Amino acid sequence: MAGTFSSINTALTALRYQQVALDIASTNVANVGTDGYVRRRVVGETLGAASGPALWARSNDTASGVQTSRVDRMTDALLDVRVRRERGRQAYLDMRALSMARVETGLAEPGDNGVANALGKFRAALGDAGNAPGSDAARSQVLAAANTLVDAINLQATHVNDEISDQQAHLDAGVTEINTLVKNLAETNRTISAAKAGGSDTTTLMDARDAIALRLATLTGAKATEGADGLMSVTLDGKELVTGFDSATLKATAGPPATTFELDPDATGATVTLTNAGVGGDLGATAELLDNDLPQYLADLAVVAQDLADHVNAQHNAGYDAAGNAGGDLFSYTAGDVLATLKVQITDPNELALSEVPGGGKDGNNAAALSKSVDVDDSYQRLVNGFGSKVNSAKQLADNQQALTKQVDNAREQLAGVSLDEETVNMVSAQRAYEAAARVMSTIDQVLDTLINRMAV
């Protein structure tokens, strides 16, 4: 439509468009601190002549204003994929490093309360008793040192077992959260589909959808893919976790000895087994801790404890106690469960076989031999040093990954994050454009007033 009256409509479209631009800018500012919010940008299109010319007529429209074409979320699909991938790797490394660091702290090495110090005190107590085999105090000190050593070993095992229990509970809680998230994502997909069909704005729904997908990637290392219809599909170890409006149920059995993951695609009980290597993120690290890192340390500590008990017992059996009787076992344990059953078998100091000759004499030569039989220091040191190296390696890997994760997050933040300075400029620009459109309308109003009410005067 050409003519004076058409300019009113042109100004009106400008007012409406700039009002939308102001609304979008203010929404961005309001959500500057909202987690998962992606900034919006209004996209306009010019209203003009018909795009398809008629055969026997032509349009007189040259410029009929502007209208809102769409509101874009400032995202990059490939960048989002990278963010989810690196966040999953970061969660895996962080969880493993954090758990192993807690265990390392519980080892108390080096320190006054560790096993290494207890071994030294036990050896020293045997040496003192060898110098004074007839002293009840020296003999009692040997038993006290032996019990302290057993307690130190048991305390280490308790700390590691507590970490295993915590990780098992963490695994169960993680699976529960994942199953809730996949249901929410499937329902969000359904809502997005309905909103699009009704022509409603879906940007807020897509923010929620992306936040759920990111959390799933962090927990499991799952891969999320956005379809052309705006719906998000998620796969874990190549198996479908979320497809359209449908979601599977994840099941997990915590180790040790082995953690297993299964998917129930349609809640019928017919499950699909996942490989542990295909599950990453937080849950993948938990499975690695439960299956390998923590049980391996307990197994190696049990070997050290058993060697200690066997070596000391063998030498103790070769000696004689204060009454001249052959010595028995100083330590006892149950094969296959050494750490839980290790204890000092002797309670009477006079039953310590410190002599190497029968008859109840004051000889203390077997005490010196017993002191030498406490020879697990090197193997224990290798165990602690090896675990410390694993902890250090886990920390370094987590720190290295953090640099990459931060780089990717910053790249996404530059695109999707809200800049108050930029939004202020956008608001001022929209305000000035709104004022200009209003001025156009008031000018046309004055022109029409002159034409209608004053030309005939």
The tens digit of pLDDT for each residue in 177-190 reads: 999 999 999 999 99
Q: How many Cβ atoms sit within 10 Å of the Cβ of residue 339?
A: 20
3-class SS letters over 250-272? EEEECCCCCCEEEEECCCCCCCE
Range with the poorest average pLDDT among 129-143, 256-270, 366-380? 256-270
Q: Is 197 exposed, middle or buried (0-12, 13-18, 19+ CB in 10 A)?
A: exposed
Cα distance between residue 430 and residue 417, in whole Å: 20
Query: 239: which strand partners?
Result: 236
Average pLDDT over all residues of the chain? 91
Report the pLDDT averaged over residues 356-373. 84
Closest by CA to 287, choosing from 160, 170, 396, is 170
| DSSP states along 204-245 | HHHHHHHHHHHHHHHHH--EEEE-TTS-EEEEETTEEEEETT
Range with the poorest average pLDDT among 43-47, 165-169, 394-398? 43-47
Given a cut of 70, whether residue 281 has pLDDT beyond it is: yes
Instruction: Find all residues with CB under 8 Å of 184, minimum gap 6, and list them.
Output: 212
Place of tokens 């695609």: 265
Is residue 71 within 8 Å of residue 43, measured between CB atoms?
Answer: yes
Q: Is 335 exposed, middle or buried (0-12, 13-18, 19+ CB in 10 A)?
A: exposed
Is the Cα torsion angle 113, 115, 118, 120 positive or negative in sign?
Answer: negative
Is residue 286 within 8 Å of residue 255, measured between CB atoms?
Answer: no
Report the pLDDT averaged over residues 221-239. 93
Cα distance between residue 21 and residue 115, in whole Å: 69
pLDDT at site 346: 92
Is residue 284 within 8 Å of residue 92, measured between CB atoms?
Answer: yes
Taking each helix axis from N to C end, the angle separating 203-220 and 281-288, rounded to the nearest 10 degrees, works out to: 10
Given a cut of 60, whether residue 1 has pLDDT beyond it is: no
Is residue 372 within 8 Å of residue 312, measured between CB atoms?
Answer: no
Closest by CA to 349, choosing from 113, 125, 155, is 125
pLDDT at site 178: 97
Query: 66: which strand partners?
Result: 46
> What is the amino acid identity at position 393?
S
Given a cut of 60, whether residue 2 has pLDDT beyond it is: no
Report the pLDDT averaged over residues 138-150. 94
Q: In this structure, what token pair is assigned to residue 411?
A: 């790249």
Cα distance between residue 11 and residue 444, in whole Å: 9
Range with the poorest average pLDDT among 3-17, 126-140, 209-223, 402-416? 3-17
The ranges assigned to domains in the chain are 4-74+417-454, 77-198+207-219+281-416
Cα distance between residue 357 and residue 367, in whole Å: 12
Closest by CA to 99, choosing from 164, 38, 190, 5, is 164
The tens digit of pLDDT for each residue in 297-338 reads: 999 999 999 999 999 999 999 999 988 888 899 999 999 899
Is residue 215 within 8 Å of residue 179, measured between CB atoms?
Answer: no
Instruction: Find all residues with CB under 8 Å of 95, minimum gap 6, and list them.
Output: 282, 285, 286, 289
**% of the chain beyond a pLDDT of 70:** 95
CA-based R_g, the chain, Å: 38
pLDDT at site 450: 83
Cα distance between residue 280 and residue 290, in whole Å: 14
Range with the poorest average pLDDT among 46-50, 214-218, 321-325, 400-404? 46-50
Report the pLDDT averaged over residues 134-140. 90
**Which 3 state secondary structure label does DSSP give 69?**
strand
The tens digit of pLDDT for each residue in 342-364 reads: 999 999 999 999 998 887 667 88
Cα distance between residue 242 and residue 104, in whole Å: 39
Cα distance between residue 232 and residue 381, in whole Å: 51
Q: In this structure, what token pair is assigned to residue 390?
A: 């694993």
Report the pLDDT averaged over residues 32-47. 91
Report the pLDDT averaged over residues 425-449. 91
- Choice between 17 and 450, residue whose per-residue pLDDT is larger: 17
- Choice between 344 and 1, residue whose per-residue pLDDT is larger: 344
Report the pLDDT averaged over residues 132-158. 93
**Phi and psi for 373 in degrees, rounded to 5?**
-75, -15
- Count of all residues that appear for the chain in the document: 457
Given a cut of 60, whether residue 440 has pLDDT beyond it is: yes
pLDDT at site 6: 77
Cα distance between residue 9 and residue 11, in whole Å: 5
Q: In this structure, what token pair is assigned to residue 412?
A: 């996404």
